[in-house]
């Protein structure tokens, strides 16, 4: 997902095109997915769409879907429906955010392995962090089984105390994803269509949803402000012996 404007970035650039360690944030996400074995990527674009297209115009594995207007993450993913349905209904697909450049290929590999081993319709990676403000919370039942993702704006005071969060690393069976997206509504505090609602919908249908605590706490930092971008840049620079990343060759996995 790469359609957001990122108003808190104080720039006219699309948020995902701000550079971290010498490359647009979304490039780190695309390269991590390729290193995990993804053969084609659909970028959902909106604000500053042509800038994003230009950044990937030499990459034949990239396709684009346009999200206008921008009505939430579920609405964003649904714009990619023509690229996947019905021909690829039985395939698996990652759904990732373009503003999360700290993503690692090995995390995605773990996510996909768990998804396929468990026969799940949907699988999400979670993380437990000390300061969960701003992230969706993972709600579980008394036995510790996954119930739902609760977005920050919709959370009760009790739910806000949950420290297991959603860093937005997902894997879905394509047909189950798009069938569920057609039933997602926008009855929430933001008035948006959330991709996160798909998991609860699938559970209620009797589908399997798998959860894996696969994201290290130090990797859970999406970028919404210039200060967060500077912190991500510092982290990536610490990971890499050279400024130019080469994730596809496994140097930063």
By annotation, the residues acting in catalysis are 8
Residue pair 99/9 in contact (Cβ under 8 Å)? The answer is: no
Residue pair 139/155 in contact (Cβ under 8 Å)? The answer is: no
- H helices of 46-196, where? 49-55, 73-78, 81-84, 105-118, 157-160, 174-181
Residue 134: other Cβ atoms inside 10 A: 10
Listed residue (103, 100, 119) closest to 206, CA to CA: 119
Residues 175, 204, 119, 112: is their CA dihedral positive or negative?
positive
Q: Report angle CA 99, 38, 92 to the nearest 5 degrees.
A: 95
CA distances for 243 relative to 17, 151, 234, 237, angstroms: 17, 35, 11, 7
Rg (CA), the chain: 17
Write out the E strands in the chain.
19-20, 23-24, 41-45, 62-66, 92-96, 122-128, 136-140, 146-150, 164-173, 209-212
Residues in the chain: 253
């Amino acid at each position: 997902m790469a359609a957001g404007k990122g108003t808190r970035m104080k720039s006219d650039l699309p948020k995902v095109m701000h550079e971290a360690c010498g490359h647009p944030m979304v490039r780190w996400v695309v390269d991590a997915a390729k290193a995990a074995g993804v053969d084609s990527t659909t970028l959902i674009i909106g604000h500053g769409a042509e800038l994003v297209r230009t950044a990937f115009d030499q990459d034949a594995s990239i396709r684009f879907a346009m999200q206008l207007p921008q009505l939430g993450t579920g609405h964003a993913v649904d714009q990619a429906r023509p690229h996947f349905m019905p021909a690829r209904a039985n395939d698996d697909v990652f759904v990732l955010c373009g503003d999360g450049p700290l993503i690692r290929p090995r995390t995605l590999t773990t996510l996909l392995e768990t998804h396929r081993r468990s026969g799940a319709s949907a699988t999400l990676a979670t993380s437990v962090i000390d300061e969960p403000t701003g992230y969706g919370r993972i709600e579980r039942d008394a036995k510790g089984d996954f119930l739902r993702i609760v977005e920050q704006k919709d959370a009760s005071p009790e739910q806000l105390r949950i420290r297991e969060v959603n860093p937005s690393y997902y894997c879905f069976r394509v047909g189950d994803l798009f069938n569920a997206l057609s039933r997602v509504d926008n009855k929430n505090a933001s008035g948006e269509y959330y991709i996160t609602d798909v998991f609860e919908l699938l559970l209620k249908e009797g589908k399997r949803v798998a959860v894996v605590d696969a994201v290290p706490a130090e990797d859970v930092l999406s970028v919404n402000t210039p200060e967060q971008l500077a912190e991500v840049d510092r982290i990536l620079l610490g990971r890499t012996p050279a400024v130019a990343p080469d994730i596809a060759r496994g140097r930063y996995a």
